[in-house]
């Protein structure tokens, strides 16, 4: 009785698969931007786009797994104490095996190429007169200084639409400099300067957190950043006390 899987009876499987694929694509299109921090820079736009593309690409695959599981529960469940008759075999089905291999290969190669490309773009600088900001981590505060100005601040201020080059270091233990809204994160090491670039393109306030467990108050090693118009930024810079 459980072997009554003629060709027609798979129809339900395709419908479940199609419906779940549509649901998965909709989730992939809208969930990343909704669940992830507000995107405020080129890097974060790319990160959100990568999440969308990967989720949409994964939707038909995930839907295939869930659809098969649901279909199997409904149609291939064995009831009773007798030994079940063998179910449908796919191992020697040339069409299934070929499709599976081709789709897996195409998807994997696509994700690899996209991933490497995004990584190259993400870490790059456009080299157009970046604003340099020196970032120093110490237990358990961040400080920011602007070379050539003597200005030092515990909150970060940035002008909109200008590339920033963060030069990150630490004076005690390893910290992690992370701006989720900008899609950038880099370690802050003692005696080394690590650089990371981003271009903020939205006005507003964001959080800067430490991502390395750096001692007792690690969880409180958070401060605020602000993206200002370039005029506001210039007047903020001029209003700061000049420390030698
Ligand atoms: Cu820290």
Cβ burial, residue 39 (10 Å; 0-12/13-18/19+): buried
Report the chain's terminal Cα–Cα distance, integer Å: 87
Between the CA of 163 and the centroid of ligand 1 the distance, in Å, is 25
Between the CA of 174 and the centroid of ligand 1 the distance, in Å, is 7
| 68-to-1, 110, 141, 200 alpha-carbon distances in Å | 19, 25, 52, 45
CATH of the domain spanning 131-239, picked from 2.60.40.420, 3.30.1370.10, 3.40.50.2300, 3.20.20.140: 2.60.40.420
Both tokens of residue 98? 């070929």
Domain boundaries, the chain: 7-123, 131-239
Cα–Cα distance between 50 and 26 in angstroms, integer?
15
* Helices within 85-221 (DSSP H only): 94-123
Between the CA of 172 and the centroid of ligand 1 the distance, in Å, is 9
Check residue 5 and give its pLDDT: 47
Close Cβ partners of 26 (under 8 Å, ≥ 6 residues apart): none
Tens place of pLDDT per residue across the chain (244 aa): 444 445 457 788 889 999 999 999 999 999 998 999 999 999 999 999 999 999 999 999 999 999 999 998 888 788 888 887 776 677 788 888 898 899 999 999 999 999 899 888 776 677 778 999 999 999 999 999 999 888 999 999 999 999 999 999 999 999 999 999 999 999 999 999 999 999 999 999 999 999 999 999 999 999 999 999 999 999 999 998 866 5
Cα–Cα distance between 38 and 206 in angstroms, integer?
9
Between the CA of 213 and the centroid of ligand 1 the distance, in Å, is 6
């Amino acid at each position: 009785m459980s072997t009554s899987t003629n060709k027609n009876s798979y129809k339900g499987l395709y419908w479940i698969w199609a419906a779940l694929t549509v649901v998965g694509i909709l989730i992939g299109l809208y969930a990343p931007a909704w669940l992830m921090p507000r995107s405020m820079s080129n890097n974060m736009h790319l990160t959100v786009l990568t999440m969308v593309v990967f989720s949409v690409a994964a939707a038909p695959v995930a839907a295939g797994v869930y659809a098969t599981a649901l279909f199997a529960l409904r149609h291939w469940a064995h009831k009773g104490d007798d030994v079940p008759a063998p179910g449908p075999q796919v191992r020697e089905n040339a069409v299934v095996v070929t499709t599976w291999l081709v789709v897996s290969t195409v998807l994997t190669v696509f994700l690899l190429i996209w991933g490497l490309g995004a990584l190259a773009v993400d870490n790059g600088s456009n080299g157009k007169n970046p604003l340099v900001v020196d970032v120093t981590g110490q237990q358990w505060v961040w400080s920011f200084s602007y070379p050539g100005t003597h200005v030092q601040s515990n909150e970060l201020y940035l002008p909109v639409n200008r590339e920033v080059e963060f030069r990150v270091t630490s004076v005690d233990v390893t910290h992690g400099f992370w701006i989720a809204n900008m899609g950038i994160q880099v370690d802050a090491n003692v005696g080394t300067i690590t650089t990371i670039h981003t271009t903020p393109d939205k006005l507003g306030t964001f959080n800067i957190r430490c991502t390395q467990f750096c001692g007792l108050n690690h969880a409180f090693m958070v401060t605020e950043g602000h993206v200002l118009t370039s005029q506001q930024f210039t007047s903020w810079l001029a209003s700061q006390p000049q420390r030698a």
